[in-house]
Amino acid sequence: MIAENNISNLSIKESVIEIKNLKKAFNGNTILKDINLNVKKSENVVVLGKSGIGKSVLIKCIIGLIQQDSGSLKVFGKEVSEMNKKELNTLRTKVGFIFQGNALYDSMTVRENLEFPLRRNKIHKNSIDIEGLIVEALESVNLLDAIDKMPSELSGGMKKRIGVARTLILKPEIILYDEPTTGLDPLTSREISNLILEIQTKSKASSIIITHDLNCAKLASNRMLILHSGEFYAEGSFNELKNSDDEFVRAFFKTE
Partner 1 sequence: MLNIKKIFRKQNNQIEPNSENSYFDNFLLELGGLSHFTLQFFRELFRPPFEHREFLRQAYKIGLSTLPLIGITAFIMGLVLTLQSKPVMAEFGAESWLPGMVSVSIVREIGPVITALICAGKIGSGIGAELGSMRVTEQIDAMEVSGTNPVNYLVVTRVLATTFMIPILVVYADFISFYGSYVAINLHDYMSLRLFVNLAFDPLHYFDLIPATIKTFFFGFAIGLIGCYKGYFSENGTEGVGKAANSAVVISSLVIFIIDLIAVQLAELSSKFFV
Interface contacts to partner 1, rule CB under 8 A: 63, 65-67, 89-90, 92-93, 95-97, 99-101, 103-106, 116-117, 119-122, 166, 170
Nearer to partner 1, 74 or 159 (CB): 159
Distance of closest approach, residue 68 Cβ to partner 1, in angstroms? 12
Nearer to partner 1, 43 or 178 (CB): 178
Distance of closest approach, residue 163 Cβ to partner 1, in angstroms? 8
Nearer to partner 1, 97 or 252 (CB): 97
Distance of closest approach, residue 89 Cβ to partner 1, in angstroms? 4
Distance of closest approach, residue 74 Cβ to partner 1, in angstroms? 18
Distance of closest approach, residue 148 Cβ to partner 1, in angstroms? 17
Nearer to partner 1, 105 or 248 (CB): 105
Nearer to partner 1, 157 or 172 (CB): 172
- DSSP letter string over the chain? -TGGGGHHHHTTSPEEEEEEEEEEEETTEEEEEEEEEEEETT-EEEEEE-TTSSHHHHHHHHTTSS--SEEEEEETTEEGGG--HHHHHHHHHHEEEE-TT----TTS-HHHHHHHHHHHTTS---HHHHHHHHHHHHHHTT-GGGTT--GGGS-HHHHHHHHHHHHHTT--SEEEEESTTTT--HHHHHHHHHHHHHHHHHH--EEEEE-S-HHHHHHH-SEEEEEETTEEEEEE-HHHHHT-S-HHHHHTTTT-
